[in-house]
Amino acid sequence: MDRPWRLKFLGYSFLAGEDATLRLAPKTVERFKERIRELTSRSCSISIQERIRKVNAYILGWVAYYRLAAMQTHCMRFDEWIRRRVRMCIWKQRKRVRTRYRELRALGIAEEVVHMTANSQRAVGVSRELCKLRIKNFRVIVLAPT
C-alpha cells in the first residue's frame, strides 16, 4: 500500500489533497512526448499534411482517453511544444534560402525580417509568428484555449 498520489493506474494518478482529483501519471506524459517526437521526426520523409494528419489522430485519441484528468496546464505546454515541432518540420523542409525567402514574402512579412529569417539556420524559434499563418492552414488541433 502507498499514498494514492504515488500510485498510477491506467495512466492516471491522483493529486495530493483532500479531494480525489485525477491527474496524468508522469510516465503518461513521457510516452505522449515520445510518440509526438516520433511523428514529427525530421528523418521521416513524409509530407507535412500527412504528418499533421497523424499527429491530429494521435492527439484526438489521447485526449479522448485522458479527458477525465486535470490536464489544462499540460495541454497548454503540449500545444506550444507540438506547434514548435511542426514549425521545425516546415522550416527543415525548406532547405534553400531562396525557397524560405519566397515563402516568407508570400506571407506578407517585412523585407528586413524576411531577409534575416531566411538566411538563418536557427530561425525555427524566430519564425514563430511567421509560421502561425502557415500552421493554421494545416489545421493542427488546438489543445489549449488561446
Task: Report the alpha-carbon angle 31-141-29, nearest 5.
Answer: 15
What three-state secondary structure class fits 55? helix
Q: Which grid coordinates are listed for 26?
A: 508522469
Amino acid at 45: S
pTM to 2 decimal places: 0.74
Q: Where are the alpha helices (DSSP H) in the chain?
A: 26-39, 48-65, 72-93, 97-106, 111-118, 123-126, 128-138
State pLDDT tens for residues 43-92: 878 888 898 899 999 999 988 888 878 788 888 888 888 888 888 888 78
